[in-house]
Amino acid sequence: MPTIFSRIRAGEIPGRIVWSDDTCFAMLDIRPLHRGHTLVIPVAEVDQWTDLDAETVAHLMGVAHTIGRALRVVEPEAARIGLMIAGFEVPHTHVHVVPLDSMADLDFRNADTSPRADDLDAAATELRAALRAAGHAEAVIGE
């Protein structure tokens, strides 16, 4: 049975996908820790990131880096852009790329469980624009 991430990528469930290539895709988290919180997800449905081949891991980190640089443009007031792989929520590897003001921003108990759809849409639009401006139009998905 496909994971929720694969179902979103297939268009069965709505999602705010901002990046897609043959190896991975990236989308805004629906329970963001901070505005712009993005997940980078391999196409392969692998639960533990340590079970992915090294090439896929390297690609995920490269895309996470690209997303992080775009988030610096979109969220310039953030003190840092953090990176985390936890994997407890969905049994499909996903890298969290999160604008941060402090370490407390990485606490999932502080996630916004009811973000406004228009706020998520605006963040996705701004992130796509920043990715395109950085020369990644070929992988940017959406408006």
Residue pLDDT, tens place only, 108-123: 999 999 999 999 999 9
Residue 28 in this model has a pLDDT that exceeds 90: yes
CATH of 4-138, one of 3.40.30.10, 3.40.50.720, 3.30.428.10, 3.30.70.270: 3.30.428.10
Does this model's pTM top 0.75? My answer is: yes
Per-domain boundaries in the chain = 4-138
* Among 22, 55, 19, 53, CA closest to 39: 19
Reported as a pLDDT band with limits 50, 70 and 90, residue 85 is very high
Q: Report the 10 Å Cβ neighbour count for 117.
A: 10
